Structure 1
């Protein structure tokens, strides 16, 4: 059986000024495809950096847990005994999506490098 690639991405759409960016979370699998909007700020990006550090230490993480906008959680051993991402969009669509992902070697380091580049370009 071929390996199915599921994907969860945060995509910056445009600048909303010097302090924030319009972005979206995109989720893609054979079963579900969707997106939700969010506003990124430097503090949110810095909290993603901290979350990635915790993930690299083997801890489950939750990012952007607020009452406004989506929340992203990564559980290293999800409901199906594999890593999964949970995106909860309670404030806008009231939808929660749970998707298994492959956290291959270098995944966290790759994300850390991308966020450093983005923050460094500001």
Structure 2
């Protein structure tokens, strides 16, 4: 089951990926956020819980209804936001790691049709295999 690519937002020039690396115990998983663009490349570790997975599913539902989202907005660890109408006429993904590196990266990504449904399948598949 591992590694499992939970999130893959890409337009083949810019990319944000979240890959679940391994189970830490029955209720938490170690994952890595990777950001790649022509300008910047970076990554950070995070811990996913069942609550975070459920909230990602809820965030995807909100996105499907045309709402921008912020996922994992907590005092610790990275936060991922998706703005459907970015400044460059395409969605923008913002990854903030204020608690550790204090770095924020904003990446415009011209996402393909069906990306939300694809991610709904990904999160459902991961949860079903727990």
CA shift digits 1:25-67 (9 cap, x unpaired): 1101111110011100000000000000000111100000011
Compute the TM-score of the two structures, normalised by the length of structure 2: 0.89
- Once residues 115 and 79 of structure 1 are traced to their aligned partners in structure 2, the CA distance between those partners, rounded to angstroms, is 28
Residue of structure 1 in register with 2:128 after alignment: 120
- Once residues 39 and 124 of structure 2 are traced to their aligned partners in structure 1, the CA distance between those partners, rounded to angstroms, is 32
- Once residues 98 and 87 of structure 2 are traced to their aligned partners in structure 1, the CA distance between those partners, rounded to angstroms, is 21
Residue of structure 1 in register with 2:113 after alignment: 105
Conservation of the 8 A alpha-carbon contact between 2:90 and 2:108: yes
User: Which has the larger share of strand?
Assistant: 2
Q: Return the match for 2:25 from 17, 32, 37.
A: 17
CA RMSD of aligned residues (A): 1.1
Aligned residue pairs: how many?
Answer: 120
Gaps of 5+ in 2: 1-10
- 1:68 matched to 2:80? The reply is no
User: Where has structure 1 moved over 6 Å in runs of 4 or more?
Assistant: none
Q: Which piece of structure 1 moves more, 90-99 or 72-81?
A: 72-81
Gaps of 5+ in 1: none
- 1:29 matched to 2:37? The reply is yes
Residue of structure 1 in register with 2:8 after alignment: none
